Amino acid sequence: MSYQNPPTPPRKSATFDDYTLAEIRRAAATGIYDIRGGGSKRKLPHFDDLLFLGASISRYPLEGYRERCDTSVVLGTRFAKKPIHLKIPVTIAGMSFGALSGHAKEALGRGATLSGTSTTTGDGGMTDEERGHSDMLVYQYLPSRYGMNPKDLRRADAIEIVIGQGAKPGGGGMLLGQKISPRVAKMRNLPEGIDQRSACRHPDWTGPDDLEIKILELREITDWEKPIYVKIGGSRPYYDTALAVKAGADVVVLDGMQGGTAATQDVFIENVGQPILACIRPAVQALQELGMHRKVQLIVSGGIRNGADVAKALALGADAVAIGTAALVAIGDNDPKWEAEYAALGTTAGAYDDWHEGKDPAGITTQDPELMQRLDPVAAGRRLANYLKVMTLEAQTIARACGKNHLHNLEPEDLCALTLEASAMAQVPLAGTSWIPGKNPF
């Protein structure tokens, strides 16, 4: 009698999965690393793993609609003559003109202004359109210093010194295939059409002892009017926050690895920097130890998607959050209505991230004049304002259910965690226990 093997299903490797195999083949074919936009795509411990406890017998909730739940926040109270007053604790993160089309920047400005919050320039400088459409504009001060000038410093509402961002803390390097259009080339003082190199350190200072002197210079140029933010990626948040405070920052902006970028090496995005969940408590601890919590404000970003994320970030000690990817989706990025075009580009709605190629069907991450026309900045601005409204209402709903009359009164003790990782990172107990791994016994 012969023995025949029954059919077995083919088994793929979890380590050498389809993405990995395709990437190895791509590297072998081209000899260059893969570049894309966006933030970390892999599953990470995040706010979803935290839950609010809500009120019941020991705590009393507030009525929605009648009983006040305040959402305002003031940024820059430490040294600036003109701090920024936001109506909602959600701001629009730095994204460059050059990475985004003029219409997209206009849409963000309109939406933010309708909502009483700020937008932020990016690595290319300030455009007149953005300054015109955004009531509150934060001006980024980056290693490249593209377009940097004192007039724009003076007409900004705040200045954000960028040390790094979550997608690529410590990054710079060579960014290939970034097509520099004529307008962008002029603003950045570069030849058209060449690959763009990116410095990883600031050109005229190194270290927090020098940063202190640089912050003083910027204050002197702007007559001490503007709040000075310092933005860092999720690297060593405890030390970085303490040093930013010691160097004289008014506001610390902390961006986790889910935070997006216009274009950088995929390997960088996925392997350097921490999830935002792991960064918040250490940063807040540094502020508290220096007696600066709420005096130097903390803005966190990287994967903020809804009012629950906002409320959780604030409960852990942040003063406000910033959104980038979510704002772009709100105004139309990766919309399924362009599916046929995504398919033609070899991708699908929700996965499209080759923004540096300038072919975005949604007309947002492109400089192509035809594609840009697809985005109506007024309608898109309205969409962003709607989305911000929903985020705020959601956060207020949660806060009222926890008995808070101001979003800032949310505390870590209002939270519990579903997983060990989230519990350890956010330093809140595992649900149903009083245990925080690494902190205390059962």
Partner 1 sequence: MPVFDLSVTPLRELNQALHSIAPGANDTAFEVINPRGSHSVAVGIDSPVSVAVQGSVGYYCAGMNDGGAVTVHGSAGPGVAENMMSGTVVIEGDASQYAGATGRGGLLVIRGNAASRCGISMKGIDIVVEGSIGHMSAFMAQSGNLVVLGDAGEALGDSLYEARLFVRGTVKSLGADCIEKEMRPEHLAILDDLLAKAGVEGASAAEFKRYGSARTLYTFNIDNADAY
Partner 2 sequence: MCGIVGLFLKDKSLEPQLGALLSAMLVTMTDRGPDSAGIAIYGSAADGTAKITVQSPQPETDFEGLEAKLAEVSGGSAKVAVKSSHAVVSIAADRLDAVRDALRQISPTLRIMGTGESVEIYKEVGLPKDVVARFDVAAMSGTHGIGHTRMATESAVTTMGAHPFSTGADQCLVHNGSLSNHNNLRRELVREGMHFETQNDSEVAAAYLTAEMAKGKDLGEALTGALDDLDGFFTFVVGTKSGFGVLRDPIACKPAVMAETDQYVAFGSEYRALVSLPGIETARVWEPEPSTVYFWDHQNAA
What residues line the site for partner 2 (CB under 8 A)? 201, 206-210, 212-213, 236, 239, 243, 246
Interaction of residue 185 with partner 1, rule CB under 8 A: no
Q: With CB cut-offs between 5 and 8 Å by kind, which of partner 1, partner 2, none does residue 204 bind? A: partner 1
Query: 192 or 210: whose CB is closer to partner 2?
Result: 210
Residue 277 belongs to what H/E stretch? Answer: helix 276-289
Among 238, 391, 266, which residue's Cα sits nearest to residue 323? 391
199 binds partner 1 (CB under 8 A): yes
Q: Which does 118 bind (CB under 5 to 8 A by kind): partner 1, partner 2, none?
A: none
Task: Choose from partner 1, partner 2, none: what does 441 bind? Cβ within 5-8 Å by kind.
Answer: none
Residue 132 interacts with, from partner 1, partner 2, none (CB under 5-8 Å by kind): none
91/119 Cα distance (integer angstroms): 6
Residue 206 beta carbon to partner 2: minimum distance, rounded to whole angstroms: 4
DSSP string, 375-403: --HHHHHHHHHHHHHHHHHHHHHHHHHTT
Name which of partner 2, partner 1, none residue 74 binds, using a CB cut-off of 5 to 8 Å depending on partner kind: none
Nearer to partner 1, 213 or 343 (CB): 213
Q: What residues from 161 to 180 belong to the interface with partner 1 (CB under 8 A)?
A: 173-174, 176-177
27 makes contact with partner 1 (CB under 8 A)? no
Q: Could you say whether residue 29 binds partner 1 (CB under 8 A)?
A: no
- Smallest distance from partner 1 to CB 221, Å: 3
103-to-178, 281, 372 alpha-carbon distances in Å: 19, 37, 7
Q: Which does 2 bind (CB under 5 to 8 A by kind): partner 1, partner 2, none?
A: none
- Shortest separation between residue 123's beta carbon and partner 2, angstroms: 22
Q: Which two tokens stand for residue 39?
A: 């933030």
What's the DSSP call for residue 408? Answer: G
Give me the DSSP letters along 315-345.
HTT-SEEEESHHHHHHHTTT-GGGHHHHHHT
Q: Interacting stretch for partner 1, rule CB under 8 A, among 24-32, 130-138, 155-163, 322-330? A: 24-32
Residue 162 has φ and ψ, to the nearest 5°, of -95, 115
- Give the list of residues 6+ apart from residue 201 with CB closer than 8 angstroms, or none: 143, 172
413 binds, among partner 2, partner 1, none (CB under 5 to 8 A by kind): none
The closest of 277, 272, 265, 264 to 303, measured between CA atoms, is 277
Total residues found in the chain within this entry: 442
239 binds, among partner 2, partner 1, none (CB under 5 to 8 A by kind): partner 2
Strand 261-265 to 297-301 pairing: unpaired
By CB under 8 A, tell whether 209 contacts partner 1: no
Q: How many residues bind partner 1 (CB under 8 A)?
A: 34
Among 82, 214, 246, 406, binds partner 1 (CB under 8 A): 214
Q: Which is nearer to partner 2, 156 or 244 (CB)?
A: 244
The pair of three-digit structure tokens given for residue 398, joined into one six-digit string: 């949660």
Of 72, 149, 288, 405, the one binding partner 1 (CB under 8 A) is 149
- What's the one-letter identity of residue 210? D
**DSSP letter for each residue of 11-78:** ---STT-HHHHHHHHHHHHHSS--EEEES--S----GGGEEE---SSSS-PPPTTTS--B--EEE-TT
Judged by the rule CB under 8 A, the positions of this chain that interact with partner 1 are 30-32, 144-145, 148-151, 153, 173-174, 176-177, 189-191, 194-195, 197, 199, 203-205, 210, 213-214, 216-217, 220-224
